[in-house]
Amino acid sequence: MTINAKEIAKINYKNEEVIVKMKSGKISVLYPEDVISLWIIENISVPEHYGTWYTIDSIVYKDTVYFLLEHEEYGDETPNIIIDQNGRLILKEVFNGFEDLADFWEDWSFLED
């Protein structure tokens, strides 16, 4: 798989590869309700956070894709963060993946799938 500088991920949509792109600081995802899988992509910059991050997991909840990111330099020695498909920081200081997001929202239904 080849990814150019503006692409941050490639997903499998109905068994066809779809590209997730960053444009003007926003992440665009086609058909988020049909995302099947997400590949790990590197060099994601997040405002107000040092260094670059990479995707370690993703979920779709209420037609929005959320990405769990790990720091490229410090890895699991620093808390993860969660951003949405628009690159907006949703949650920082993430230690338990999307379970922390469920606690934050007080809604665990999206983890049941």
Q: What is the pLDDT of residue 92?
A: 93
The 10s digit of each residue's pLDDT in 71-104 is: 999 999 999 999 988 888 999 999 999 999 989 8
Question: In Å, how far are 34, 89, 94, 109 from 11, measured between CA atoms?
Answer: 10, 21, 24, 23
The 10s digit of each residue's pLDDT in 36-76 is: 454 557 778 888 888 999 888 888 888 788 889 999 999 99
Question: Domain segments of the chain: what residues?
Answer: 7-111
- Structure token digits, residue 96: 């338990």
Q: What is the pLDDT of residue 112?
A: 67
- Does the structure show a pLDDT above 90 at 32? no
Q: What is the pLDDT of residue 107?
A: 80
Reported as a pLDDT band with limits 50, 70 and 90, residue 106 is confident
Question: Is there a contact between 26 and 59 (Cβ–Cβ < 8 Å)?
Answer: no
